């Protein structure tokens, strides 16, 4: 499908301070595709850029939030951990309820592309709580019938965080010392850099694909590596 020019368009990133979101913000601010990049945050980031518009919002009120600009693409990079959330209810609020509210807001605004990060193994029926919540989110998003829904399922993420996540730390060590493990059927489980996920999200958004699509980790990596950012 031929890319449609995004010149003069506006992007909204929610979750711009996380690993993928922060990488995505850099890419979008450096690109010529958007005239404006809006980020919704809980507290000020002190990031300065002429294209950037930062809004501190109450995430409990996402659906009622009003914005003057026409928003073309929404990038949802929200996510937390059980360690930070401290309860299943709090975790579900951040990883399911907030993204779903954002998607409903995006639909009401006529957004053409909604791009969201979930996880490899997302399945509403999973016995793993994390995967189950992500799967519930995917099912709920698909039921909204958004103009364009792009779901990204990365494996464990690699990159610099402000916090230590044991699973990601361990995966990074395994990848470094015994990379041959992630071959064949295990290819999709190979840890992936957050920057690659962000890069692929940006490239996919430019395609303006209608309908719902899911990108597993190996495909995310392939798209990031095979095409230059332009």
Q: Please, what is the angle between helix 19-30 and helix 194-207, to 10°?
A: 50
For residue 182, the Cα-to-chain-centroid distance in whole angstroms is 23
Q: For domain 9-224, give the CATH superfamily.
A: NAD(P)-binding Rossmann-like Domain (3.40.50.720)
CB 123 within 8 A of CB 189: no
Length of the chain: 230
Query: Where in the chain are the domains?
Result: 9-224
Averaged pLDDT for residues 215-230: 84
What pLDDT was estimated at residue 170? 52
CB 140 within 8 A of CB 2: no
| Residue 40 dihedral angles phi and psi, to the nearest 5° | -105, 125
Tell me the catalytic residues.
130, 134
C-alpha Rg value of the chain to the nearest Å: 17
CB 212 within 8 A of CB 152: no
Q: Which long-range contacts (CB under 8 A, 24 or more apart) does 165-173 make?
A: 165/81
Q: Is residue 188 very low, low, confident or very high in pLDDT (cuts 50, 70, 90)?
A: low
Encoded tokens for 31: 């690109």
pTM: 0.87
CB 158 within 8 A of CB 168: yes
Per-residue pLDDT of 33-66, as tens digits, reads 999 999 999 999 999 999 999 999 999 999 999 8
Looking at residue 50, the DSSP 8-state letter turns out to be T
- Give, in degrees to the nearest 5, the angle at Cα 215 between 211 and 219: 135
């Amino acid at each position: 499908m031929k890319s449609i020019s995004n010149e003069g368009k506006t992007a909204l990133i929610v979750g711009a301070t996380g690993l993928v979101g922060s990488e995505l913000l850099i890419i979008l601010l450096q690109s010529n595709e958007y005239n404006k990049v809006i980020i919704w945050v809980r507290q000020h980031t002190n990031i300065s850029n002429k294209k950037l518009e930062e809004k501190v919002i109450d995430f409990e009120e996402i659906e009622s939030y009003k914005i003057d600009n026409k928003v073309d693409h929404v990038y949802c990079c929200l996510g937390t951990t059980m360690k930070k959330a401290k309860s299943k209810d709090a975790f579900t609020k951040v990883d399911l309820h907030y993204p779903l509210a954002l998607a409903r807001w995006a639909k009401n605004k006529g957004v053409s592309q909604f791009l969201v990060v979930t996880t490899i193994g997302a399945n509403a029926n999973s016995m793993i709580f994390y995967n189950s919540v992500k799967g519930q989110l995917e099912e709920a998003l698909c039921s909204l019938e958004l103009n364009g829904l792009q779901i990204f399922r990365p494996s464990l993420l690699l990159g610099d965080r402000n916090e230590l996540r044991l699973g990601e730390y361990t995966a990074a060590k395994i990848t470094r010392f015994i990379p041959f493990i992630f071959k064949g059927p295990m290819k999709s489980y190979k840890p992936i850099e957050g920057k690659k996920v962000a890069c692929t999200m940006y490239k996919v958004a430019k395609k303006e694909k209608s309908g719902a699509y899911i990108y597993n980790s190996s495909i995310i990596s392939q798209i990031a590596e095979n095409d230059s950012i332009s």
